[in-house]
Amino acid sequence: MPDRLPLFIGGDFVAGGGDEILPVTNPATQEVLTQVRFATHTEINRAVASARAAFVEWRETPLPERARLMLRYQNLLKQHQDEIARILSLETGKIFSDAQGDVWRGIEVVEHACNIASLMMGETAENVAGGIDTHSYIQPLGVCAGITPFNFPAMIPLWMFPLAIACGNTFVLKPSEQDPMTPNRLAELFVEAGSPPGVLQLIHGGKDQVEALLLHPDIRAVSFVGSLPVARHVYRTGTHQLKRVQAMSGAKNHMVVMPDANRDQVVRNLASASCGAAGQRCMAISVAVFVGESAEWIPQVRDAMATLRPGGWDDQNAAYGPQITPQARRRIIELIATGKEEGAECLLDGSECKVEGYPDGNWVGPTLFGNVSADMTIYREEIFGPVLLCAQVSDLDDAIRLINANPFGNGVSIFTSSGAAARRFQHEIDVGQVGINIPIPVPLPFFSFTGWRQSFFGDQHAYGKQAVKFYTETKTVMSRWFDDAPPAEPNMTIKLA
């Protein structure tokens, strides 16, 4: 790794000139891996200007050629999958299988972008009036920007720039300053795949750089993924600037456990869906809602969670890695303390977790709370750590009421063997992504990632057909053609057989 990560502007990797420099550290050891220098306003303006200039030619590049760039990129990402996963493990602390999953889910979006020709087909209708036809085209917007969070440094940038660029746009990516090495490697491979200069730019930074992108008059659309307060701010500011904005936000995902569910599946899935990736997934299960006598399984959930232990990236027996920063760890431990103070029953406490060989890691052990009520801080706030809350209700109606009253609507799940209960749940629940006997129902890229309510601000969701709509404009053409030749005499002869 270079001592300092470069920015990527106008087809060149350039050392940034900003005053703000942040170390990028390994969350398992605190070792400094590299440094990230935030972009200056001049550099941001240069990146946008270069994307704007590149758009003129890129929008004219034939669709099959744009698709071929994606095919080459997909191939390179697959070839380098483990190498990218290793970089990702280093800067996020994710265990290697989680890091590989992060890269793979991104590659799947690039595969979807390879279908861009059929995704950008318009509609036609003949004879909408006498001799008049109508057809619609789908055209790119111009310069688009993407702002991404720390928790999926490969997958989430790949949710954004490949589809936007396949649509004919050019793109400025501002990844999380906490794990920027993976996005830099993604950009290098995009160049190797043959991306023309200026089609993708990558600038590093934090709040100020985001603000500069939101206010830049030449940026037409902004994709954002991050926490609730920032998502709300990005959506408000961006739309106020008359930009198109999609802002994927925080979550509090529930899993309803019906008494007729398969107990072993419930226990296993609750443990892994709450603690996997150290709970740093926007689709992690953070509340188990036990209906009726299914609450008797809580001790078994505790036992299953107690067997999970965090560890280093290459520890085959580790279930997950550290939290991203010491601050994130401290916040989780404070929330655990608040949960105890507010009267929740702490059945398993990971606050004091230690991992042999990694004395300085940001570790939090699996944590389980019983007797949680909706007014508690641990229920109201997104914890984003390996912490599972248990709530108990008497029937499915109460479970649905509880979940629908929670402001977030990212993901939800029900475990049951009753088709009728599952059907009612999927219909009545006010959440955008529903799993039936599946704890983390993340749609594949030919669907879209459809969080609802406070988990999403905007109209068109990430990836799938909705992302193509987000990154494009529809142009509708009505046409009529006149024939200069005199109209032929109508032939009135009726032929009799």
CA distance 188 to 6: 11
Binds ligand NAD by CB under 6 A, chosen from 87, 199, 230, 355:
230
Choices 20-28, 33-41, 115-123, 224-232 (CB under 6 A): range interacting with ligand NAD: 224-232
On whether the CB atoms of residues 289 and 393 are closer than 8 A, the answer is yes
Nearer to ligand NAD (CB atom), residue 147 or residue 266: 147
The 159-198 contact track toward ligand NAD, x by CB under 6 A, reads ---------------x-xx---------------------
- Name the burial class of residue 204, with classes exposed (0-12), middle (13-18) and buried (19+) by CB atoms within 10 angstroms of its CB: buried
Closest distance of CB 147 from ligand NAD, Å: 5
Choices 64-72, 245-253, 304-312, 364-372 (CB under 6 A): range interacting with ligand NAD: 245-253
Nearer to ligand NAD (CB atom), residue 173 or residue 193: 173
Scored b (16 or more CB within 10 A) or e, 431-449 reads bbbbbeeebbbbeebeebb
Choices 74-82, 148-156, 356-364, 425-433 (CB under 6 A): range interacting with ligand NAD: 148-156
Of the candidates 238, 176, 226, 262, the one whose C-alpha atom is nearest the C-alpha of residue 410 is: 226
Q: How far is CA 147 from CA 183, 203, 210, in A?
A: 11, 10, 7
Q: Which residue is it, tokens 């408000």?
A: 236
Binds ligand NAD by CB under 6 A, chosen from 170, 274, 455, 472:
455
Binds ligand NAD by CB under 6 A, chosen from 35, 115, 227, 373:
227
On whether the CB atoms of residues 39 and 205 are closer than 8 A, the answer is yes
The 423-452 contact track toward ligand NAD, x by CB under 6 A, reads --------------------------x-x-
475 belongs to the binding site for ligand NAD (CB under 6 A): no
Closest distance of CB 246 from ligand NAD, Å: 10
Closest distance of CB 89 from ligand NAD, Å: 18
Closest distance of CB 205 from ligand NAD, Å: 7
Nearer to ligand NAD (CB atom), residue 170 or residue 455: 455
Q: Which residue is nearest to ligand NAD (CB)?
A: 226
DSSP for residue 445: T
Nearer to ligand NAD (CB atom), residue 177 or residue 349: 177
Residue 123 corresponds to which tokens in the numbers above? 């509609």
The 250-289 contact track toward ligand NAD, x by CB under 6 A, reads xx------------------------------x-------
Q: Which parts of 405-424 interact with ligand NAD (CB under 6 A)?
A: 410
C-alpha torsion sign, points 423, 425, 430, 432:
negative
Q: Which residue is it, tokens 């906490």?
A: 178
206 belongs to the binding site for ligand NAD (CB under 6 A): yes
Binds ligand NAD by CB under 6 A, chosen from 120, 138, 147, 388:
147
On whether the CB atoms of residues 39 and 18 are closer than 8 A, the answer is yes
39 belongs to the binding site for ligand NAD (CB under 6 A): no
Angle between helices 81-92 and 96-113 (to 10 degrees): 130
Contacts of 309 (CB under 8 A, 6+ apart): 317, 318, 319, 355, 365, 366
Give catalytic residues, as residue numbers. Answer: 282
CA distance 197 to 52: 11
CA distance 430 to 248: 16
Q: What is the DSSP string of 242-261?
A: T-EEEEE----EEEEE-TTS
Q: Which parts of 86-125 interact with ligand NAD (CB under 6 A)?
A: none
First-to-last C-alpha distance (Å) of the chain: 86
Nearer to ligand NAD (CB atom), residue 55 or residue 379: 379
Binds ligand NAD by CB under 6 A, chosen from 202, 210, 287, 387:
210
Estimate to the nearest angstrom the gap between the alpha carbon of 485 and the chain centroid: 59
On whether the CB atoms of residues 442 and 106 are closer than 8 A, the answer is no
Closest distance of CB 283 from ligand NAD, Å: 8
Query: Rule CB under 6 A: which residues touch ligand NAD?
Result: 147-152, 174, 176-177, 206-207, 210, 225-227, 230, 233, 248-251, 282, 382, 384, 410, 449, 451, 455
